[in-house]
Structure 1
Amino acid sequence: MKLRIKQGLPILYLLLSVIAIVLMFPRETYNDPDTFWHIELGNYMLKHHTVLHHAIHTFYNDKLPYVPHEFGFQLIVAVLYDTFGWQGTYLLTGVCLFLLILGLYRLTRISRKELGLEEHHILLFVLVLIVSICVFYFYFKTRPQIISSCMIVWFFVYLREFNLSLSKRYAYAMVAISIGIANIHAGVWLVIAVFTAMALAESTFERSLSKFKLWTYLAIIAVGFINVGGTDNILYIFTVTKHHFNLMINEWQPVNFASPTEPRTILLLVFAMLLPFGIHRKAFRFMLMLGILFLGVSSYKQNLFMWLFVPYFAGTVVDLIPYHQNFKVPFKKAWLIWGLLLGLSANLVVNYLWPPTIDNKKYPVDEMSYVMSQTAVGVRPKVLAPYGSSGYVMSHGADVLCDGRQDPFVTDASKGVFGYTAFERSMKGFSELLPDIVQYDKPDYVIVRKNVSNRMYQSWCTAFGNPVFQGKYGDVFRIKKVQQSS
């Protein structure tokens, strides 16, 4: 009887996988402001058969430079959206989620393998599923990071496997991932470059650096430069953080660890608790710990990396848990994969039966419908809208001051009234400064949100006249007449 029960235990991998995936509701991947302009840029490149090196659909025509560091993602998401609609973008999310969960569990296995321990443990798989759920809700919007996160995890797995076996297949895989990240989400390519440098330092320190290792590491770095934006792409982080404009965006803010119930606070405490038992006096693990700790506390955006790599450090700690032997469950890879596929299939069905909709309280859906109904076909009106909604506005027919990106709009060429760049005017402009900004930028329409004080709203009405349209997102002011629709 006990033997039969033990033989049936591997089905837990299937059941846990299905439960975890079904708890990751597809609707949570939509309504990110960046998604709209990613799709618009992808469609523009497909239509014109070009790589964009300038911002499009702005008040500045095509004069502002743009670093195409997310070129590959934009093409992929545009094709999926054009073919299947919003449901198509979840296909990409599902594939990335599948690869991420497999990669995170593989992280725990390689961590144990490096120390000669048995690779599988059901408690580690439970941890991976918990981490995956948190990553999904915090970071798995329809943005480039859904692809790059799983690619980085698998790169790291292959890097550690390569260190153990010097297998050519792992070397080829790392080189392929390097060039892939450099053309899909080049802004995070430096992460794998730093991992490679850590591995090189480890091999040098341990006197295990062979010619094959050295050439592999050099190839990983070299192919990163083969991308559509060159050096600017892979060094994009220095562009986006220049003059600290990025700190005006919420996701770039330092993490607030003051609340003990905040999941990121719990993660930091767990990470700190694991370190004394997860480093094992290994130089590579120590370097990795420093890197992940730095990224994890620096901003909400980069806190993602602490989530991704906590399974690696937890991998060898599970043996310290009392009675952990009682939780031994034979591993069956097929059950795990089938569980993930069943869960994702269920979510796909739900997503197609109840299609996602754009939140018309978060984005100016009705407001833009009105603006475009008042505009002749083929004419793009100049619409001034808050930073977070500008991506939606530009993807639905208008030109904007700043579309939700940052780097094209912090240049000297974009400076205007008050000495503010276009980015600053877009972020700070919906205040008492709005009339001066409108006078300088001369938009055709201004869309404002409802969440402003009555005094502020009345000052805008005094400056612009009464709104011509009121929707669920906010109000539309017409500043000057444009060519009317007939």
Structure 2
Amino acid sequence: MTLAAADIAPDTQIVRGSLPLWVGIVVFGVLVVAGNHLLNDPDTQWQITIGQWILDHRAVPHTDVYSFTMRGAPWISTQWLAQVLYASVYAWFGWSGPVVLAALAIAATFALLARYLVRSLSDSAALIFVAVAFALTAPHLLARPHVLALPIMVVWIGELIAAADRRAAPSFLLLPLMALWANLHGGFVFGLVMVAPIALDCLISAAKGERMRLAARWAIFASLALAASCCTPYGWDSLLASRKILALGSALPLITEWRAADFATLHPFEVCLLGGIGLALYRGITLPLMRIVILLGLVHMALAQARAAEILALLAPLVLAAPLARQIGEARTASASSLKPVGAVMAAALVVVLAAGTLGFAATHRFAPNTANSPVKAVAELKKLKLERVFNDYDFGGYLIASGVAPFIDGRTELYGETFFVDQHLASELADPDVLFRLLDAYQIQATLLRTQSPAAKLFDHLNGWRKIYSDDIATIHVRKAGALHAREPAVNNANEPRAK
């Protein structure tokens, strides 16, 4: 299969122009069947707990009410609406609710991506881009707030790019989307930033006589978009909250999704990146100046932070579609047209069948978070002790919040800050044992809940003043206990002495 535009024979296309529908159905079906993958992230549990808190109190948080280390410290949830949605479906349907909600949002994202691509490219070319995008985003497709914002991101950037291709300003009807995005996820700041380079792309390509008028309209749109982003319970604070993430500094590389791309082993990102470079060299593809700048910016983000690979995967095709179409051939007009009546009937039938299949599968399949991040039995034992100061593994924080136990740390990294997060990491990994002992004393730690195989847990097994009271394959509990002794003389095997018979 190549990027060359190709006629699709009538007998091979079930419904002309229905590629977005089929993409959405397939993606949704795959994600529901593999639903437990969407629950692999420990943050999902505290997101739902906070969403339920918002529903119960009919207010959004302004301070931390969960941890014992930061209780009362200023903290806002820029993802409050997504948390409420997850909490609502969880209350109604258990873990099936967040799985289906996340799957719907992700399926809509790829269906919308396909819809924008078939406006310029053939169905086959659009499908290649969609498949590559799915491969790159798969590791970060989780039941978390960001996936609920992905369809909005695709529509927002897609419409801005479409306006630039038409040498026009974007419609003001997009502004409510920015307000919705700002309440779902903090990534709306990226949407605001992207207005400037796309506007510049439009102005460079426009006729000289039109540039001043277009510049004024884009400037008005940008100003209104900025105002729309402040339509949240926190007002301007939602916009300013991104500074706390950027201020995490040396803490970011310690978080898997924020680490730079690693090419030590072959990953889909490297394959796709090299494939794209090779194709551009082979076909001699050229891009307008600002499209090159935007594309390089997206690549830089993906190289600097693993989580940005999804942004590159979903937005690069939108940036490339129109220029590619001019060089490799236009899409068939029928592909970009709306569904015919028979197609609409078939689409409705497919949706009904899919809904029935989803209900049947959810009724017979048990969805549950990853047990590796859910120390169920250990926390049950911990709660019997009624302790208030527990030093926990970072990934256990979400489950502790959901279980009503105040954590030492959890996934709200912006709340704890760079120094605190780095210290906890150094302590739990024993990269600096002195930091561990300092934290134990400074926060008057009564017990520890760590991964059984972690270096710190191994140390506590041999540390005087601490006693192991519970351990399984996932977590181990040590309790501070005066008089607990573990020190002993190490066994020495002297090769010169005869072995005892």
Matches within 5 A, 1:41-440: 41-60=50-69, 62-110=71-119, 112=120, 119-135=121-137, 137-163=138-164, 171-186=171-186, 188-205=187-204, 206=206, 207-208=210-211, 209-210=213-214, 212-242=217-247, 243-259=249-265, 261-273=266-278, 280-313=286-319, 315=321, 317=324, 333=339, 334=343, 346-347=357-358, 349-375=360-386, 381-410=388-417, 421-430=419-428, 431=430, 432-433=433-434, 434-440=436-442
1:18 shift after superposition: 5.0
1:409 shift after superposition: 0.9
One-letter amino acid of the structure 2 residue matched with residue 256 of structure 1: D
Closer/same/farther in 2, CA of residues 343 and 128 from structure 1, 3 Å limit: farther
CA contact (8 A) 1:385 1:426 kept: no
**Greater RCO (Cα-Cα under 8 Å, separation 6 or more):** 1
SS of equivalent to 1:45 = helix
Q: Using the alignment, how far apart are the partners of 2:58 and 2:425 within structure 1?
A: 32
CA contact (8 A) 2:451 2:476 kept: yes
1:325 shift after superposition: 10
Q: Using the alignment, how far apart are the partners of 1:165 and 1:16 within structure 2?
A: 27
Structure 1 unaligned regions, length at least 5 = 113-118, 412-420, 482-486
1:367 shift after superposition: 0.6
1:204 shift after superposition: 3.5
CA contact (8 A) 1:51 1:228 kept: yes
State which drifts further: 43-52 or 384-393: 43-52
Q: Could you report, residue by residue, the CA deviation over 1:230-287 in whole angstroms, capped at 9, with x for unpaired residues? A: 334224333212133222212111101343x310111222343466779754344233
1:182 shift after superposition: 1.3
Structure 2 unaligned regions, length at least 5 = 1-7, 483-501
One-letter amino acid of the structure 2 residue matched with residue 6 of structure 1: P
Residue 33 in structure 1 maps to residue 45 in structure 2: no
Matches within 5 A, 1:453-464: 457-464=458-465
SS of equivalent to 2:476 = strand
Q: Using the alignment, how far apart are the partners of 2:460 and 2:107 within structure 1?
A: 52
Choose the corresponding residue for 1:9, options 10, 13, 21: 13
One-letter amino acid of the structure 1 residue matched with residue 445 of structure 2: P
1:444 shift after superposition: 3.4
Larger radius of gyration, structure 1 or 2? 2
1:447 shift after superposition: 0.8
Superposition RMSD on alpha carbons, in Å? Answer: 3.6
Instruction: Give the % identical residues.
Output: 16
Q: Using the alignment, how far apart are the partners of 2:67 and 2:50 within structure 1?
A: 12
Closer/same/farther in 2, CA of residues 398 and 108 from structure 1, 3 Å limit: same
CA contact (8 A) 2:75 2:415 kept: yes
One-letter amino acid of the structure 2 residue matched with residue 288 of structure 1: I
Q: Using the alignment, how far apart are the partners of 2:474 and 2:398 within structure 1?
A: 15
SS of equivalent to 1:438 = helix
Q: Could you report, residue by residue, the CA deviation over 1:94-119 in whole angstroms, capped at 9, with x for unpaired residues? A: 22123101211123134x2xxxxxx5
CA contact (8 A) 1:127 1:311 kept: yes
Q: Could you report, residue by residue, the CA deviation over 1:170-218 in whole angstroms, capped at 9, with x for unpaired residues? A: 62442011111111112x1222112211233234332343455443332
